[in-house]
Amino acid sequence: MSLREIVSKPDLLLPGHSACPGCPSAIALRMALKALGEKTVLVIPASCSSVYQGIYPGESFNVIVYNVAFASAAAVASGIRRALTKKGYTDVNVVVWGGDGGLVDIGMATMSGAAERGEDLIAICYDNEAYMNTGIQRSGATPPGAWTTTTWTGKTEIKKPMPFIMLEHGARYVATASVGYPIDIYNKVKKAASLRGEGFRYIHILAPDPPGWRFDASLTVELGKLAVNTGFWPLWEAEVINGKIKFRLNPPSNKLLDPSKRVPIEKFIEKQGRFRVAKEFHLRKLHQQMDFYWQLVKAYLSISKD
């Protein structure tokens, strides 16, 4: 579907929300809601999304929204799903929409539990690589070398490979996406929604964040593209059908298995203030992270060939 066609669909993210200029979460949510449609319950853990939707009694997300405690989203959503199923309402999308703090860190146990139980949910993580809502603190999804307000000299550990972890739970559908590719976001959410009734579905969207990554608000989409084209964030999707993994790379990542085809990572780093503190060993670690992620990609690609 073309961007023009997607944009012409009804907007369920209403004007008047209070997201920052260039907010990647708002871009991703706008796409996701267009794909999900009105018959959707959004379950949102503490995050920027619970703030920028507006202040009570205002509400700029034009679907049913349940704002819940930080560590609880996938468990609350499980309860909602089961209640609706019990009452015969199977034609509703129950969707967890949270940041990396809420889903990759504090809510990880609920994500793991819901995925293991095969709950009929879609969970979408908009990953801005830190606790942006509370003022840019380090999360498990922060990459090495990044300045945050709890890693003033740069984070030293690699980013938790959350989408791979969810895939290893046997989730029905897992995909990565980037705010640099909004049509891809739409298609993946649409795909996830089409698998309603078949179990747990997870989409992890990399979300370049102007205030947290320290770049100009006009560059969100450009950073989202660079993250992919440098090989920092590979785009892929996987289905698990009867225990068989079908894993594939999506464009443009499918052309980037060979590192020489990738845009040099420096192009991605130099546009962001957060890497200004990065030393040599941080950058080595960042390369290790990329190697690690691509090793996982290759491993899953080779499994899928069988």
> Which residues in this chain contact other proteins in the complex, by CB under 8 A?
38-41, 43, 50-51, 53-56, 58-59, 61-69, 71-72, 75-87, 89, 91-92, 109-110, 112-113, 116-117
Cβ–Cβ under 8 Å, residues 264 and 206? no
Of the candidates 43, 8, 66, 46, the one whose C-alpha atom is nearest the C-alpha of residue 186 is 8
Nearer to other proteins, 121 or 290 (CB): 121
Q: How far apart are CA 48 and CA 63, in angstroms?
A: 17
Q: How far apart are CA 18 and CA 54, in angstroms?
A: 6
Nearer to other proteins, 153 or 194 (CB): 194
- Min dist. Cβ of residue 39 to other proteins (A): 5
- Min dist. Cβ of residue 92 to other proteins (A): 6
- Min dist. Cβ of residue 237 to other proteins (A): 26
Nearer to other proteins, 66 or 281 (CB): 66
Residue 174 φ/ψ, nearest 5 degrees: -135, 135
Nearer to other proteins, 35 or 206 (CB): 35
Q: How far apart are CA 255 and CA 229, in angstroms?
A: 9
- Min dist. Cβ of residue 32 to other proteins (A): 16
- Min dist. Cβ of residue 89 to other proteins (A): 5
Nearer to other proteins, 81 or 172 (CB): 81
- The tokens for 188 are 């993946």
- Classify residue 302 as exposed, middle or buried by CB count within 10 Å of its CB (0-12, 13-18, 19+): exposed
